[in-house]
Structure 1
């Protein structure tokens, strides 16, 4: 019998304001990496609660996810895989963010060109992919819309 596949469950949030996206900077194995506020699902919390908690921990901002951008499956290595629930928040005004998590070294508001230019400094390909999906869903000429949070049923949690 083969070993059961157990990907890590993670959450992330695309936070957008006036053409810029909030990214957190962190040092991983000596390398500077950029990511959306993100992290792992913890025991006794819903996916949406996990996202709100990660936003507070990594930015100091008390924000609630507004919609679901997508659910992504990603293999980081042969023995390391993730299922990532990516949410979004649209802000009317950029907010000053101060991380509470010591692993976060800085917060940046960057436009799409700046983020694309980061290349391998992005924590994973999902950082850029989820921003592109967010923008496609936000495009007024595109029929897709952001998926409402009601899609995620937490009634039985």
Structure 2
């Protein structure tokens, strides 16, 4: 069964029907043959390490409201992923970062999100975070020693953290 969020052809407004195209069930227009592909969403995540600590944000919305997480969000169509990563950090924290090496790319069966995870260096002093009002997405910022990390919001965060530690020999 496929997602039937879209019921009508965006080209000719004919009701879509389900057919197997490219070995998968897809919504197809029987009139103009338009095929609706459910493409994945690209998400960027940023791990910020500063003076032996990780900068994390307390989530201000679900999923994971009230839990700590890395910073990130969706990439806009046509936006370079590195620019999206820096933009998301700036939107959520007000801080400026230099995007560094890729930590990894993560996906799982049934999840439409593909995560592209980078590490980054702060270009704005973290002491300035006390002057920042909470954003819609983040209610609090904090630097945590690596040995005292809080419970993270998402199960994938543990894998990201492990991969980041391995990459940096920590």
The question of a shared fold, defined as TM-score above 0.5 by the shorter chain, is answered with yes
- Picking from 73, 86, 90, the partner of 2:117 is 86
> CA separation in 2, counterparts of 1:16 and 1:99?
22
Aligned twin of 1:110: 144
Say which structure, 1 or 2, has more relative contact order (CA 8 Å, 6+ apart).
1
5 Å-filtered alignment, 1:37-76, equals 37-74=71-108
**Superposition deviation, residue 106 in structure 1:** 0.4
Structure 1's 111 and 5: CA in aligned 2 closer, same or farther, altered over 3 A? farther
- Picking from 4, 28, 48, the partner of 1:15 is 48
**Superposition deviation, residue 92 in structure 1:** 9.5
- Structure ID, larger Rg: 2
Structure 1's 72 and 93: CA in aligned 2 closer, same or farther, altered over 3 A? same
Is there any run of 5+ residues in structure 1 with no aligned partner, and where? 141-157
Say how many residue pairs are matched: 133
The question of whether the paired residues in 2 share the 8 Å contact of 1:18 and 1:92 is answered with no
TM-score by structure 2 length? 0.67
TM-score by structure 1 length? 0.72
Classify the secondary structure of the residue corresponding to 1:49. Answer: helix
Structure 1 stretch 65-74 or stretch 47-56: which is displaced more? 65-74
Aligned twin of 1:150: none
Structure 1's 94 and 127: CA in aligned 2 closer, same or farther, altered over 3 A? farther
**RMSD of aligned C-alpha atoms?**
2.6
**Superposition deviation, residue 89 in structure 1:** 1.8
Structure 1 position 123 matched with structure 2 position 153: yes
